[in-house]
Amino acid sequence: MTAPTPPPPEPGRPPQHPTAHAYDPWAATEADAPPAAAAGADAPGGGPERAVGAEDARTWAATAAALTALGAVLGLLWWWLAPEVVYVSDGRQAFLRNNESEHSFGVDGTFVLLAAAFGLGCGALAFAVRRHGGVGVVLGLTSGGVLGSWLAAWLGGVLGPGADLTARAVEAGRGGVFTGPLELSSLVLLLVWPLVAVATHLVALGALGPREPAPRPLVHPRWAPEGDDAPPVGGPPPGPAPRG
């Protein structure tokens, strides 16, 4: 018995070996692999690169520590510039001499304006020091701004009068007037500093930061034409000249 012979090739097509595979021009080869993939394969552990590296962690810690220390300055300025909160005593309890809106506008408004100014300055200074940005700068501005605002609010309350209004009302007597503690009406105001700082840094980075090079067109190296036959980037491929 003889082995079956393969059918003859069709006209215009070269003969193919029975075991040959179809050619895929877009199949990735080891030589065409991007450098990033090769570097990731050789990295320790074989995994992807960490989102926060050692340099970002150091930047995060340094930025957060600097902003937390500035919180003491913010607390001193708030205690110095904020208007006094005046209470009136009936002998047993204390009541605000002015209404609640004036109290909130004076104390909270002073804190918000100072925190916004600190956030604007810290965001601009962070961009001047680290013009390329980075996740460590953003994390440092966020955490440091929150810690600095909390320290400022705590320090302002400590430097002001005591917080026990009942004891002070009894001490002042009926019709007595005394100054109350310096307190924020809402803890949401602690976010003013970090939000303004991060927004300022991102706006400065987008407007004045370094620009990335434009990406090259995705053309397979085996099909890329050379010389004058290369089509313009973004334009249609050259075709046959129209007949006259």
- The tens place of each residue's pLDDT in the chain, 244 residues long, gives 555 565 665 665 655 555 545 555 555 554 455 554 444 444 444 444 555 678 889 999 999 999 999 999 999 999 999 888 777 777 677 767 666 656 668 888 999 999 999 999 999 999 998 888 789 999 999 999 999 999 999 998 888 776 667 777 777 777 777 677 788 888 999 999 999 999 999 999 888 877 767 666 665 556 655 555 555 555 555 555 556 4
User: Can you say whether the dihedral through the CA atoms of 231, 233, 237, 241 is positive or negative?
Assistant: negative
The pairing of strands 94-96 and 86-90 is antiparallel
pLDDT for the residue numbered 142: 95
Tell whether 70 is covered by a domain: yes
Q: Which domain holds residue 128?
A: 54-83+108-161+183-207
Tell whether 157 is covered by a domain: yes
pLDDT for the residue numbered 56: 85
Q: Count of domains in the chain? A: 1
Tell whether 150 is covered by a domain: yes
pLDDT for the residue numbered 42: 46
Tell whether 217 is covered by a domain: no
pLDDT for the residue numbered 45: 47
Count Cα neighbours of 170 within 13 Å in the Cβ-side half-sphere: 4
pLDDT for the residue numbered 221: 58
pLDDT for the residue numbered 75: 94
Contacts of 188 (CB under 8 A, 6+ apart): none
Q: What distance in Å separates the CA atoms of residue 142 and residue 197, rounded to the nearest whole number?
A: 8
pLDDT for the residue numbered 224: 55
Tell whether 134 is covered by a domain: yes
pLDDT for the residue numbered 117: 96
Q: What distance in Å separates the CA atoms of residue 47 and residue 30, rounded to the nearest whole number?
A: 19
pTM for the predicted model, two decimal places: 0.63
pLDDT for the residue numbered 120: 96
